[in-house]
């Protein structure tokens, strides 16, 4: 259906050298988008880009740290110079740090907030500066179950993801009138490198399977349908929403 066709659009997916970001980027390419992959490891990025190009997709790379404002600004200036118009931005980049609050340093707290929340503001701001004159754009922020609920030992991640939910609404408040739709995806417990320690912990694995109505962990590619929807014309009158792709976890006690 042309409603979900991303042909002719360019999608920047931050943190897309692996995990959820790579799965989402691959899915957007399958729907027709040209990709800009982002990460901090240029060699890993280029390797991923080669793999995707071998599938016939249009892929360029932009290696920069989303937590480094100057690097983000420079990246968008380079896009301008190269006539790269970011039509779709997926703010996916993020880190996890599992530690009780009383043991956290302020520097540890700040690093998670900077990478998982402030980066979405900075990259979103730079993308929107270019989308507003074009009167169109799609921004998809990656939240979490922790956008709604807290779990012990992941306070900075939870606060950042809670902020992502309200940043999505704040961006909607200012940018929807300019033809930009801003929404969020809240992944459940997904099989990713970031969650490897949890997956390999029998007690945590049992908890996730018991607490999730679908009784399993999610696969990164299971985010693609929602990501394509929120990146396509199918969602042109949807903004400020967060859609949970979580096997039902957020909906039950």
Shortest distance (Å) from residue 151 CB to ligand GCO:
5
**Nearest CB to ligand GCO, comparing residues 187 and 220:** 187
Choose, by CB under 6 A, the member of 154, 160, 180, 184 that binds ligand GCO. 154
> Widest CA span of the chain, in angstroms?
52
From candidates 18, 53, 63, 96, binder to ligand GCO by CB under 6 A: 96
CA dihedral 113, 119, 121, 123 (to 10 degrees): 180
Of 55, 98, 129, 135, the one binding ligand GCO (CB under 6 A) is 98
> In this chain, which of 151, 215, 216, 219 binds ligand GCO, going by CB under 6 A?
151
Using CB under 6 A as the binding criterion, the count of chain residues that bind ligand GCO stands at 14
10 belongs to the binding site for ligand GCO (CB under 6 A): no
Q: 17 or 34: whose CB is closer to ligand GCO? A: 17
> 25 to 64, contacts with ligand GCO by CB under 6 A?
none
Q: Which of these ranges, 42-50, 182-190, 215-223, 227-235, lies near ligand GCO under the rule CB under 6 A?
A: 182-190
When binding is defined by CB under 6 A, the residue of 19, 21, 188, 218 that contacts ligand GCO is: 188
**Interacting residue with ligand GCO among 76, 189, 217, 229 (CB under 6 A):** 189
Q: Is 145 in the site for ligand GCO (CB under 6 A)?
A: yes
Q: Under the criterion CB under 6 A, does residue 140 sit at the interface with ligand GCO?
A: no
244 in active site: no
- Of the two residues 59 and 154, which places its CB atom closer to ligand GCO in the complex? 154
91 in contact with ligand GCO (CB under 6 A): no
Give whichever of 65 and 146 is closer to ligand GCO, judged by the CB atom.
146
CA distances from 73 to 4, 38, 114, 208 (A): 30, 14, 15, 39
SS (H, E, C) the chain: CHHHCCCCCEEEECCCCCHHHHHHHHHHHHCCCEEEEEECCHHHHHHHHHHHHCCCCCEEEEECCCCCHHHHHHHHHHHHHCCCCCCEEEECCCCCCCCCHHHCCHHHHHHHHHHHHHHHHHHHHHHHHHHHHHCCEEEEEECCHHHCCCCCCCHHHHHHHHHHHHHHHHHHHHHHHHCEEEEEEEECCECCHHHHHHHCCHHHHHHHHHHCCCCCCECHHHHHHHHHHHHCHHHCCCCCCEEEECCCHHHCC
Among the listed ranges 29-37, 81-89, 190-198, 215-223, the one in contact with ligand GCO (CB under 6 A) is 190-198
Residue 45 and residue 79: Cα distance in Å, rounded? 17
The residues that are catalytic are: 157
Binding footprint of ligand GCO on the chain (CB under 6 A): 96, 98, 144-146, 151, 154, 157, 187-189, 194-195, 198
């Amino acid at each position: 259906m042309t409603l979900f066709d991303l042909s002719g659009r360019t999608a920047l997916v931050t943190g897309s050298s692996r995990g959820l970001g790579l799965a989402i980027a691959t899915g957007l390419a399958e729907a027709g988008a040209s990709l800009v992959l982002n990460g901090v490891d240029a060699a890993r990025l280029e390797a991923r880009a080669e793999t995707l190009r071998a599938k016939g997709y249009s892929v360029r790379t932009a290696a920069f740290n989303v937590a480094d404002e100057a690097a983000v600004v420079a990246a968008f200036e380079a896009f301008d110079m190269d006539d790269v118009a970011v039509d779709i931005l997926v703010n996916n980049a993020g880190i996890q740090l599992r530690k009780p609050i009383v043991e956290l340093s302020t520097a540890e707290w700040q690093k998670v907030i900077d990478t998982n929340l402030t980066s979405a503001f900075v990259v979103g701001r730079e993308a929107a500066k270019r989308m507003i004159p074009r009167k169109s754009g799609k921004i998809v922020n990656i939240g979490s179950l922790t956008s709604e609920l807290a779990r012990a030992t992941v306070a900075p991640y939870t606060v950042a993801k809670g902020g992502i939910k309200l940043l999505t609404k704040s961006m909607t408040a200012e940018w929807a009138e300019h033809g930009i739709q801003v929404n969020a995806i809240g992944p459940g417990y997904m099989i990713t490198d970031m969650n490897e320690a949890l997956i390999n912990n029998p007690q945590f694995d049992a908890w996730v399977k018991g607490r999730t109505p679908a009784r399993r962990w999610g696969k990164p590619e299971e985010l693609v349908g929602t990501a394509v929807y929120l990146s396509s014309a199918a969602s042109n009158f949807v903004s400020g929403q967060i859609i949970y792709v979580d096997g039902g976890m957020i909906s039950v006690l």
